[in-house]
Amino acid sequence: MKIAVIGGGSTYTPELIEGLIQKEKSLGLDRVVLQDINPARLEPLSSFSKRMASHSGAAFLIDSTADLDEALDGADFVITQFRVGGQKARHRDVMLCLKHNLIGQETVGVGGFAKALRTIPAMMEVCCRIEKRAPKAWLINFTNPSGLITEAVLNETRVRAIGLCNVPMEMKMEAARALGVEPGDVRLDYVGLNHLGWVRRIYIKGVDVTGTVLAFLTSQETREPANAGSEVEKGLWQTRKLRGPVNIPDISYEPSLLKALGMIPQFYLRYYYYPEKMLKVLKRARKTRAQEVMEIEEKLMKIYRDKKNHEKPSLLEKRGGAYYSKAALELIEAILNDRKEEHIVNVRNSGSTPDLPSDAVMEIPTIVGRSGASPLPVGQIEPQIIGLIRQVKAFERLTIRAGVKNDYNAALLALISNPLGPPAERAERVLRDIIRVNKLSLAAS
């Protein structure tokens, strides 16, 4: 069994290799090929990965190449984790957005729009090669903006693809920690798009504990009440005593909003619910997140280049992407072994809800087995969230049209459609800036 990793020079790669080492036997893994167009990153990451595998006693081979066709030839699974333009382009996105008094984040708002326009052509090229070199392969896409890119792949190519994000798993793991239970005991009724998702219900061993969790999160109490009767409630208070405030996930939402929603928004929804506040946060920051990551990566690359090192560095935790390897490899394992397990991933709606087109990619619970990820019924989506979902989905679909067809008009309409984008009277100035900085070839039709 062969896995090709496109973007193998990513500093994330050792986390992925660690997971592959742990699951080598269950995957029947023979060979991993790391592909990257940047030799200055690929060589040290490849060498470090080989040392990791060697010291662990792993039997699978690790190769590296700059040649995309060589990497893809005969692959059973292709993992995409590349970033067009690197962290420097991410930094430029943020600064361009702030110049126009807009939120600049790598997957949200205008920053996500710019990243998507850079990424779609590169992903289309990867998929064109997959169709020729590995037509039966499964593409596991981690490249951001993951949901948008996955929809482009599914609707514009013949490649079998599933989009992956670590946020749903991170929310599940955090919920398990906060509730004092095993992750396998937790089920999330989760709905939305990538980086635009809500937990509608939380179940522990089939028991709905959403009300208790929301009451805890919105409580003004600082001490455990004497009538904290249920095991779930006691567990929440015990976690707070032992480890500080409980976050499911990193909650910074007002209690009144959580009460009104009746559900738990994921981290990225802060940008939509509190855009003025988040814009101020971005403007006040001494460094962009891209600059912080570049500093972390510089230190990580020194570790990877040191021939004496063969253990995944703890510094990698500060890079972000918690549970990425776990999410990716459990997904691959479920497909290979026909596990028919529940995973929250990015797939076509396919009738799961009547509220979006059938071919629109959503981030929802699915059953994963040999035939891929089949979405579970979502039903009608609550009015308090469906409006935002539809607006962002319209933005995504216009962005895909712009990226695939180099369509200037679609790009302009995408910007105007984005809830965090500029008003129509400023949109063209912003778009021209994005085209200039990224050297895009969009043409008005």
Contact (CB, 8 A) for 175 and 202: yes
105 within 8 A of 111, measured Cβ to Cβ: yes
Please say if 268 is a catalytic residue: yes
Q: Which residues pair with 141 in a beta bridge?
A: 80, 163
Q: Among 415, 414, 409, 413, which residue's Cα sits nearest to residue 442?
A: 409
For residue 63, what is the DSSP state? Answer: E
The helix (H) or strand (E) run that includes residue 131 is helix 109-133
β-strand partners of 135 = none
Of 333, 286, 324, the C-alpha closest to 11 is 324
DSSP 142-164: --SSHHHHHHHHHHHSS-EEEE-
- List all residues 6 or more positions away from 192 whose beta carbon is below 8 Å from its beta carbon: 198, 266, 362, 363, 364, 385, 389
Alpha-carbon distance 40 to 35, whole Å?
A: 12
Helices (H), 134-230: 146-156, 167-179, 210-217
| 198 Cβ contact partners less than 8 Å away, ≥ 6 residues apart | 190, 191, 192, 261, 263, 264, 265, 266, 269, 385
Residues counted in the chain: 445
Residues 18, 53: Cα–Cα separation, whole Å:
8
Q: How far is it, in rounded angstroms, from Cα 363 to Cα 272?
A: 17
| Marked catalytic residue, from 190, 203, 253, 268 | 268
Strands 264-265 and 207-208: unpaired
Cα of first residue to Cα of last residue in the chain, in angstroms, is 46
In single-letter form, the type of residue at position 65 comes to T
Residue 56 in 3-state DSSP?
A: helix
- Site of tokens 């396919």: 350
How many DSSP H helices and E strands does the chain contain?
Answer: 18, 13
Paired residues of 407 in beta bridges: 443
Residue type for 337, please? N
Give CA 173 to chain center in angstroms. 16
List residues with catalytic annotation.
268
